[in-house]
Amino acid sequence: MIFDPQHRKESRSARISMALIRLSLAMKKMMQAESEALELSPIQIQTLLFAAYTRNDVATVGNFAKAIGTTHVTAVKVIQGLVRKGLIVKTPKPEDRRVTLLELTSKGKELVSKLEHWGGSLEESLQSMSEKMMANFELGLGSILSSLEKRGHLVVAEPCLGCIHFRPNVGDAATPHYCQMIRKHLSHEASLQECPEHTPSPAD
């Protein structure tokens, strides 16, 4: 039981687990304060960032719900609030009109441009760590995230490079890359955006 202080004295994994819980609480508090300055909730900002940095053909309501670990119904409610604010538009996916894609409006893009420092308080707190400490910390966190992802508790979206489905420089100048999963050529710009279906290749 990680909440038992006596157990934590005897278990390093329990101490680390408690540290991560406390870290998540601190992050929630920091992001809430930064979000209020923009008159939005943290989940609304996450929605805008998802629409901004996710490849447009996979920026679906379903993928957004998975990315933030919520239900489809809750995700729709959050998105509808942003639609009413004129920050996001919903469009049916051309290949399958049952699937809804999310896209920023010009007003939404303008707001995202102001989010450069959102979450910056957390990054600043890491600056006191040495490069060696940060490298070890990064490896450890990566291992935890990978384990959580394999258990279905987390969706990690990344750009195309390093994905098992990605085939670079096999097309023409406009769409030089290819995704074997969706059987579609991609522009270089699209390959730099995040994809919730990213599957790291064994070498990574």
User: What does the alpha-carbon distance between residue 59 and residue 127 come to, in Å, rounded to a whole number?
Assistant: 33
Digit-coded pLDDT (tens) for 25-82 = 988 888 888 788 788 898 999 999 999 999 999 999 999 999 888 899 999 999 999 9
The pLDDT mean for the chain works out to: 89
Q: In what order do the strands lie in the sheet with 177-179?
A: 166-167, 177-179, 184-186
Confidence of residue 18 (pLDDT cuts 50, 70, 90): very high
| Model pLDDT, residue 199 | 86
Span 73-130, pLDDT tens digits: 999 999 999 999 999 999 998 888 888 999 999 999 999 988 877 777 778 888 888 9
Q: Are 74 and 163 in contact (CB under 8 A)?
A: no
Domain ranges within the chain, ordered by starting residue? 1-37, 158-204
Confidence of residue 203 (pLDDT cuts 50, 70, 90): low
Global confidence as pTM? 0.78
pLDDT digits (tens, 9 = 90+) for 156-184: 888 999 999 999 999 999 999 999 988 89
